[in-house]
């Protein structure tokens, strides 16, 4: 039966690609709110005949007339004025103030871990400790030696190899030296220790004129006493508290005052060949040691023998390095790294690099038995005389 034009007609999707919605059942296209896709048969029709008027929303049978939304006034909801006052949320309570001591403890913990990591790295890089070593920690009462002993005691509990420690202090009989401080501190740590008494102060005061530097002679006498104790008690390694800044300062002291490129080796054999000296703090900055010593509250003993002397060479170099670090942070660190990257072929030390064996193209030069350095010296002298 025929379908009346007033019947409700659903809109179905067109099977054409990207087809628009069209009415398949509507007999009067003009009353339907859908567009029909222009087919090949409609293409020949005039443009005015193909163009259909744009349908309105109210023309479609499914559409319903909706009133325009009412304009809402400020402070209203759905056209009605809001008169009720809503309670405001209670403000959050202020957080409890943090204890500054907790922050200080965290910083001290991070500093201690960094120092342990640097000491462990130096020990691993230079093979400072071997299984079964008996290490003598030279304890002077300063911040460096206190930090060295503390670091080695902490590493001893978790080290991959077993080793023993003994703390040794040399009592040089300086005036007003508090002889009770170190024994009391070491007994509290429950670490083996020994106090070696030797009157080096009188020797240094008698030999060195007033106003001159005592450090050189004092260090030699102190070193001899410590070496003698180590040999008598079966010590295999002697640990000193020199840090990174000491190594860099020694390099410049040798450069300025002794005309040589030398510093402090992290590990070396003594001149007599009987002792091995290690410096586990070789990677640690002096500023970190000072902060760690203050945090740990070590009983620091000042050195009255040489600390009161003015214009010492090491103090001058230390002030120079501090100024460099303030002006260009990281410069001292770069110098310390340069000491581990030496290029002998780019220096002028003939004992470290065989320049005579270097040929024209970099290969080995053939030896010339008829030519030696004396011939060149004679040629240079004759040329100078002729001028």
User: Phi first, then psi: what are they for 96, rounded to 5°?
Assistant: -65, 135
Collapsed DSSP state (helix, strand, coil) of residue 252: helix
**Burial class of residue 308, CB neighbours in 10 A (0-12, 13-18, 19+):** exposed
| CA distances, 11 to each of 8, 20, 26 (Å) | 10, 10, 9
Q: Are strands 76-77 and 80-81 parallel, antiparallel or unpaired?
A: antiparallel
Q: Are strands 237-239 and 133-138 parallel, antiparallel or unpaired?
A: parallel
- Choose among 374, 257, 261: nearest CA to 314: 257
Beta bridge partners of residue 44, listed in sequence order = none
How many Å apart are CA 93 and CA 281, to the nearest integer? 48
Degrees to nearest 5, angle at CA 59 with 56 and 61: 135
215 is in an annotated binding site: yes
Q: Identify the residue whose tokens are 């003598």.
A: 136
How many Å apart are CA 12 and CA 360, to the nearest integer? 92
Burial 91-121 (b: 16+ CB within 10 A, else e): eeeeeeeeeeeeeeeeeeeebbeebeebbbe
Binding-site annotation, residues: 215, 218, 306
Annotated binding site for [4Fe-4S] cluster: 215, 218, 306
């Amino acid at each position: 039966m025929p379908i009346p034009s007033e019947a409700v007609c659903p809109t179905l999707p067109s099977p054409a690609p990207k087809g628009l919605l069209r009415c398949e059942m509507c007999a009067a296209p003009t009353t339907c709110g859908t567009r029909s896709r222009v087919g090949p048969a409609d293409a020949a029709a005039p443009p005015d005949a193909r163009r259909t008027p744009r349908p309105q929303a109210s023309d479609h049978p499914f559409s319903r007339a909706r009133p325009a939304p009412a304009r809402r006034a400020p402070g209203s909801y759905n056209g009605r004025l809001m008169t009720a006052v809503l309670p405001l949320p209670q403000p959050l309570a202020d957080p409890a103030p943090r204890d500054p001591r907790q922050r200080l403890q965290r910083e001290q913990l991070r500093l201690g871990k960094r120092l342990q990591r640097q000491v462990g790295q130096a020990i691993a890089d230079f093979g400072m400790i071997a299984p079964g070593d008996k290490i003598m920690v030279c304890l002077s009462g300063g911040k460096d030696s206190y930090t060295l002993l503390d670091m080695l005691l902490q590493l001893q509990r978790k080290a991959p190899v077993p080793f023993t420690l003994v703390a040794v202090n040399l009592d040089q009989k300086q005036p007003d030296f508090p002889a009770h401080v170190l024994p009391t501190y070491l007994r509290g740590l429950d670490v083996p220790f020994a106090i070696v008494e030797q009157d080096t102060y009188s020797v240094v005061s008698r030999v060195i004129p007033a106003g001159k530097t005592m450090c050189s002679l004092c260090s030699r006498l102190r070193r001899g006493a410590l070496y003698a104790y180590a040999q008598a008690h079966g010590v295999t390694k002697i640990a000193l508290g020199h840090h990174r800044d000491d190594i860099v300062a020694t390099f410049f002291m040798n450069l300025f005052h002794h005309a040589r490129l030398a510093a402090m080796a992290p590990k070396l054999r003594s001149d007599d060949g009987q002792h091995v000296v290690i410096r586990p703090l070789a990677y640690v900055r002096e500023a970190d040691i000072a902060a760690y010593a203050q945090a740990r509250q070590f009983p620091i003993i000042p050195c009255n023998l040489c600390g009161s002397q003015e214009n010492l060479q090491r103090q001058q170099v230390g002030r120079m390095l501090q100024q460099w670090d303030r002006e260009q942070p990281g410069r001292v660190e770069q110098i310390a790294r340069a000491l581990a990257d030496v290029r002998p072929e780019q220096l002028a030390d003939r004992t470290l690099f065989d320049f005579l064996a270097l040929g024209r193209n970099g290969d080995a030069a053939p030896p010339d038995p008829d030519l030696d350095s004396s011939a060149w010296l004679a040629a240079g002298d004759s040329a100078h005389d002729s001028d």
